[in-house]
Amino acid sequence: MSSPTVADAPQKGFFGHPRGLSTLFFTEMWERFSYYGMRAILAYYLYSAIADGGLGIPESTALSVVGVYGASVYMTGVVGGWLADRVMGAQSAVFWGGVVIMLGHICLALPGGVTTVVLGLVLLVIGTGLLKPNVSGLVGGLYSDDDTRRDAGFSIYYMGINIGGLLAPLVAGTLGERVGWHWGFGAAAVGMAIGLVQYSLGRKNLGTAGLKPVNPLPPEHKGRVLGRAIGIAVLFVVVLAGLSVSGVVGLDGLVNLISVISAVLPIVYFAVMLSSKQITKVERDRLIAYIPLFLATALFFLLFEQQPNTLANIAEADTQLEVFGFMVPASWFQSINSAAIIILAPVLAALWMKLGNRQPSTPQKFVGGLFFVGLAFLWVVLSKTVVGTDKHLPLMLAMVFVILTLGELLLSPVGLSASTKLAPKVFASQTMGLYFLAPAMGQGLGAQLVKSYSVDNQQIYFGIVGLATIGCAALLLVFSKSIKRKMHGVL
């Protein structure tokens, strides 16, 4: 007996999967193309000299801005999910999110200095917050809960993410470094525009999945709640942008403010959930067990998301980029993570299948993720020392990104799964939002940490951070059995 279909989406047409999967595959591929293309050159543009077409912002400030941009994207994802669920539906959220993202890249493509950069990044944060959490939800909406194609469908979808991430630095990065920074940002805008066109043309293949909000606000409350939400959001953005552009707060003050918000929000979330009288003792234990896993995730992303700032800086300022007479664009290193995922993800998936019940527990996989991300930082220290060169060799620096990917494959896929399993029933949706605050917290705190980095002190910086992270991994391993007991049977 065939599985019942969801809504009225055509169920054949894309490698044996619903036809709408192709629509979402290419939408996400082009969105990630625009995101990773812009991110590959953002730090370079911010700190490059004005004579070279950049903004001439101090290097430490520029690297911090890249960090809080990533943190902001994850924080707005919670709001984007709420708007889709209660106001506009996932399909509309994805479309309008893409429009706002495209406008953000257009702002960056315009030579307007700090003003257009701040406006562009604000638009990108808002747009990505609308699109990113909802496009993956639409993928799930194409299948019934018992459809055996679901997991394979998500695997195909995630391949689109990594194809976009692989190609983006090669195209936008090359244009930005070789032709002009604004050409690179313009390529990101074109990529998102292509994604919007194909999404609009293929939207009919999604059927009614995500067409309407799943839990709409009551009509009598909708106007008031929506009006207040929009008013607060607009006021916050206008005040923040105004203070930054006018120089009252400045970029450093903006970085500090977002870092504080990224650290405080998870604390508030946990406090509210743990103090609730609606959760059982077992659920409270599981939530307590989730805290060290949440902190491990935040620490992981604190290191992992330094690819577009500190590691990008090393690639540009301290790597021998000439290979057989060809000057490798520094931004190309940002493609390695996606390429490594495409190659290594099937290998690790096959390993877990082979191990079956003998595979590591969830806390142990988190330990592995922290260990490899710490090892990647130590590899930066060893890179020049082992070879004995003045600068990093391209292959040695590339290995840093590969080791980071190993850590990602161990920790990132199980993090979301653990959130769904350990969430109290009354806070199921909010726990998913809480999970995305972990990378936000990591990047927000990372934005402060990178202020102590420079090319000259890279050995000390990466050595201390790498060793401290491996120490945290060892600590998590010691307490993994206790954490597992608190999980009450959740694997």
Q: How far is CA 423 from the centre of its chain?
A: 21
Eight-class DSSP state of 6: S
Torsion region of 7: left, alpha or beta (phi above 0 gives left; psi -120 to 50 gives alpha): left
Within this chain, do residues 417 and 355 fall inside the same structural domain, yes or no? yes
Residue 189's pLDDT band, with cuts at 50, 70 and 90, is very high
Number of domains in the chain: 2
**Is the Cβ–Cβ distance between 3 and 202 less than 8 Å?**
no
Q: Which domain holds residue 58?
A: 14-216
3-class state of residue 243 by DSSP: helix
Torsion angle in degrees (nearest 10) through CA of 236, 238, 239, 243: 140
Within this chain, do residues 191 and 68 fall inside the same structural domain, yes or no? yes
Which one of 154, 184, 216 terminates a domain?
216
Mean pLDDT across the chain: 88
In the block, residue with structure tokens 């080791």: 403
CA dist 127 and 76 (Å) reads 9
Which one of 189, 216, 243 terminates a domain?
216
CA dist 338 and 166 (Å) reads 5
Residue 227 has pLDDT above 70, yes or no: yes
CA end-to-end span of the chain, whole Å? 31
Within this chain, do residues 161 and 302 fall inside the same structural domain, yes or no? no
Task: Report if residue 226 sits inside a domain.
Answer: no
Class of residue 462 by CB neighbours under 10 A (exposed 0-12, middle 13-18, buried 19+): buried
Pairing of strands 322-323, 326-327: antiparallel
Which one of 216, 239, 255 terminates a domain?
216
Torsion region of 72: left, alpha or beta (phi above 0 gives left; psi -120 to 50 gives alpha): alpha
Task: Report if residue 95 sits inside a domain.
Answer: yes
H or E stretch covering 51? none
Task: Report if residue 234 sits inside a domain.
Answer: no
3-state helix vs strand vs coil in the chain, percent to 5:
80, 0, 20
pLDDT tens-digit readout, 248-305: 567 788 888 889 999 999 998 889 888 888 888 998 999 999 999 999 999 999 999 9
pLDDT tens-digit readout, 111-151: 988 889 988 998 999 999 899 888 887 887 787 767 777 76
Give me the CATH number covering residue 110: 1.20.1250.20
pLDDT tens-digit readout, 163-180: 999 999 999 999 999 999
